[in-house]
């Protein structure tokens, strides 16, 4: 059987939706083939997006867990791209399940002067060692972003909140072995692109198994989640961490938010808010989140406006 070859474009535009549209194409490729040999072809690529990298990492890890194999190709004359992909640990990322917690500072040290973090694959299990490692990893990610972005005050608190909520989502609901985080800061454009993903059971199945709210399909499940209907017996406003996070990002920080599970996605920006059902072949098993976070000296942003109900 022929391998699945993911042709990475020469560059993705600055448009929020451009890399996401490529993700739809790659998801469709995996659904139309039974091959477990994945080739990530960067031969023509000169610039790529964290939204692509994070999503492809999730696809690669899912393939690996199902007994597949992953390789990547690149133009041998493009040493910068090869160095970048190696530095971020593409395609499988850093697996912290077998990492000594005391080595985290040394592991993250090479990234202190970068504009990106490595691909983080954090454990989602509930045994004590995994919980401790996950907490330490997420603390290290928040510290790294704080230093890279020179953040302080309520914007830092807000970004940390969104990362914590969206990753806790994965732990609580996904049944995925790992959660994935990847981010890159663009200093000249003054925004952070952040991707958080898993390759678990998806949002609709999580609602079905909780026997709470009982959505009839993924479209209704996403509406429940983004507007604050949780699967857990907790305050309605918390939802899946999605409701507060999207409000904080879009209304508070003037950013953009995208959430996909199964065949449906939700997108919100300053001028757009909608839920869209995709064609049958574009079905993502798990949850995939893309957030564009403006990094501005926004003294008007008040973290507690979104967390105190």
Q: Is the pLDDT of residue 300 over 90?
A: no
Q: What is the pLDDT of residue 129?
A: 84
Give the span between the Cα atoms of 135 and 289, in whole angstroms.
20
Q: What is the pLDDT of residue 163?
A: 94
Q: Is the pLDDT of residue 248 over 80?
A: yes
- Cβ atoms within 10 Å of 82's Cβ, excluding its own: 15
Q: Where are the domains of the chain?
A: 92-307
Phi and psi for 187 in degrees, rounded to 5? -60, -40
* Average pLDDT taken over every residue of the chain: 90
Q: Is the pLDDT of residue 4 over 70?
A: yes
Phi and psi for 154 in degrees, rounded to 5? -75, -25
Q: How does residue 236 score in pLDDT terms, banded at 50, 70 and 90?
A: very low
Alpha carbon 1 to its chain centroid, in Å, reads 30
Q: How does residue 309 score in pLDDT terms, banded at 50, 70 and 90?
A: low
C-alpha distance from residue 161 to each of 119, 129, 225, 236, 267 (Å): 19, 23, 17, 18, 20
- The DSSP secondary structure of the chain, one letter per residue, reads -PPEEEE--SB--SSTTHHHHHHHHHHHHHHS----EEEEEETT-SB--HHHHHHHHHHHHHHHHTT-EEEEEE-TT-HHHHHHHHHHTTTT-EEGGG--GGGHHHHHGGGTTSSB-PPEEEE---SHHHHHHHHHHHHHHHHHHHHHHT--HHHHHHHHHHHHHHHHHHHHHT--SEEEEEEEEETTTTEEEEEEEE-SS-HHHHHHHHTSS--SSHHHHHHHHHTT--SSSS-GGGTTSHHHHHHIIIIIT--EEEEEEETEEEEEETTEEEEEEPPTT--EEEEEEEEEEE----TT--THHHH--
Do 106 and 140 touch, CB atoms closer than 8 A? no
Rounded percentage of the chain residues whose pLDDT exceeds 70: 95
What pTM does this model have? 0.93
Q: Is the pLDDT of residue 238 over 70?
A: no
| Stronger pLDDT, 95 or 194, i.e. the higher one | 194
Do 93 and 153 touch, CB atoms closer than 8 A? no
Q: How does residue 69 score in pLDDT terms, banded at 50, 70 and 90?
A: very high
Q: Is the pLDDT of residue 231 over 80?
A: no
Q: What is the pLDDT of residue 234?
A: 45
Q: How does residue 230 score in pLDDT terms, banded at 50, 70 and 90?
A: low
Q: What is the pLDDT of residue 3?
A: 96
The mean pLDDT of 196-217, rounded to a whole number, is: 88
For residue 26, say if its preceding peptide bond is cis, omega within 30 degrees of 0: no
Phi and psi for 163 in degrees, rounded to 5? -65, -45
- CATH fold for the domain made of 92-307: Heat Shock Protein 90 (3.30.565)
Q: What is the pLDDT of residue 77?
A: 82
Query: Of 238, 250, 246, which is closest to residue 289 (Cα–Cα)?
Result: 246
Do 14 and 146 touch, CB atoms closer than 8 A? no
Torsion region of 301: left, alpha or beta (phi above 0 gives left; psi -120 to 50 gives alpha): beta
The mean pLDDT of 38-59, rounded to a whole number, is: 96
Query: Of 279, 252, 287, which is closest to residue 268 (Cα–Cα)?
Result: 252
Q: Is the pLDDT of residue 6 over 90?
A: yes
């Amino acid at each position: 059987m022929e391998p699945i070859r993911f042709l990475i474009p020469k560059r993705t535009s600055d448009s929020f939706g451009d890399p996401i549209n490529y993700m739809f194409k790659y998801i469709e490729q995996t659904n139309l083939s039974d091959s477990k040999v994945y080739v990530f072809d960067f031969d023509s690529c000169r610039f790529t997006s964290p939204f692509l990298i994070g999503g492809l990492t999730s696809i690669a890890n899912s393939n690996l867990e199902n007994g597949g194999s992953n390789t990547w190709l690149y133009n041998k004359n493009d040493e910068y791209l090869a160095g970048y992909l190696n530095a971020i640990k593409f395609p499988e990322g850093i697996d912290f399940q077998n990492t000594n917690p005391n080595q985290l500072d040394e592991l993250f040290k090479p990234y202190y002067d970068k504009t990106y973090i490595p691909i983080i694959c954090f454990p989602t299990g509930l045994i004590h060692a995994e919980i401790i490692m996950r907490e330490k990893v997420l603390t290290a990610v928040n510290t790294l972003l704080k230093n890279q972005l020179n953040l302080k005050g309520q914007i830092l608190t807000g970004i940390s909140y969104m990362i914590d909520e969206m990753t806790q989502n994965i732990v609580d609901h996904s049944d995925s072995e790992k959660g994935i985080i990847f981010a890159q800061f663009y200093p000249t454009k003054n925004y952070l692109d952040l991707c958080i993903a898993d390759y678990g059971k998806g949002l609709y199945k999580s609602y079905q198994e909780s026997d709470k709210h009982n959505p009839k399909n993924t479209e209704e499940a996403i509406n429940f989640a983004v507007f604050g209907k949780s699967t857990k017996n907790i305050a309605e406003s918390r939802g899946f961490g999605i409701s507060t996070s999207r409000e904080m990002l879009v209304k508070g920080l003037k950013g953009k938010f995208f959430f996909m599970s199964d065949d449906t996605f939700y997108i919100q920006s300053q001028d757009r808010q909608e839920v869209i059902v995709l064609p049958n072949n574009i079905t993502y098993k798990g949850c995939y989140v893309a957030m564009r976070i403006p990094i501005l000296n926004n003294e008007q942003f008040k973290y507690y406006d979104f967390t105190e109900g």
